[in-house]
Amino acid sequence: MPAEVKNQKFAMLFDWFDQGGDGVLTHDDFRAMGDLFGALAAEDDRENASAMRNAFEEWWRVLLAHGDANGDGRIDREEFLDVMEANVTAPEHFEEAVLTIADALMRALDTNGDGVLSKDEYVRMYSALGIPPVHSEDAFRRLDRDGNGVLSHEEFRLAITEFYLSGDENAPGNWLIGPIR
């Protein structure tokens, strides 16, 4: 069951990352994701925008180096599922390819600089990233583990880590981009 849960989450990611909608991931898709995430930062927040774009470039580099089994410069769904499990979520890549985005995203979304994400800041992220906001309130409630009405940096990082690494279908982090389908 844990592998099945992870594959469902990774399949959702594949569909989200496939910005061209052509059934394969390309460097252009990852540039588009980097731009999408980078646009969440304030206009003068070049540091966080750049960090997110660079992290997507790193993610693409890892995908291409370890997952392009047929050498065509593109990643199909099967290649993506394999490389996510074997390489992107491996300790030597996870921090640089995934958590770097999480940290920069947290800083960029924290528009009032209080060190936490309010529900409004979180919902804004959902909308800006093209994720249907219908799930955002439920997701926020699940990710706010201490029930204090905000997401701390630790809660946000934990949610992202659970989404990528947990095989537990009931882990709150699975709701990061909506319900597992």
Instruction: Classify residue 181: in a domain, yes or no.
Output: no
Structure token pair of residue 69: 């089994």
Instruction: Classify residue 180: in a domain, yes or no.
Output: no
Q: pLDDT value at position 179? A: 77
Q: pLDDT value at position 2? A: 65
- Helical residues (DSSP H) of 68-168, grouped into ranges: 77-83, 91-94, 100-109, 119-128, 136-143, 153-165
The beta-strand segments (E) located in the chain are 24-25, 75-76, 116-118, 150-152
* pLDDT for 1 beyond 60: no
Q: Which residues contact 71 (CB under 8 A, 6 or more apart)?
A: none
Instruction: Classify residue 45: in a domain, yes or no.
Output: yes
Q: What is the pLDDT of residues 48-86, one digit of tens each?
A: 889 889 888 988 988 999 999 999 999 999 999 999 888
Instruction: Classify residue 57: in a domain, yes or no.
Output: yes
146: domain CATH number is 1.10.238.10
3-state class of 149 per DSSP?
A: coil
Number of domains in the chain: 1
Q: What is the pLDDT of residues 94-124, one digit of tens each?
A: 887 788 888 888 888 888 889 999 998 888 8
* pLDDT for 181 beyond 80: no
How far, rounded to the nearest angstrom, does the alpha carbon of residue 81 sit from its chain's CA centroid? 15
Q: pLDDT value at position 116? A: 95
Query: pTM to 2 decimals?
Result: 0.85
Q: What is the pLDDT of residues 14-58, one digit of tens each?
A: 999 999 999 999 999 999 999 998 888 888 989 888 988 988 898
Instruction: Classify residue 115: in a domain, yes or no.
Output: yes
Instruction: Classify residue 111: in a domain, yes or no.
Output: yes
Give me the percent of the chain exceeding a pLDDT of 90: 44
Print the domain residue range for 7. Answer: 2-175
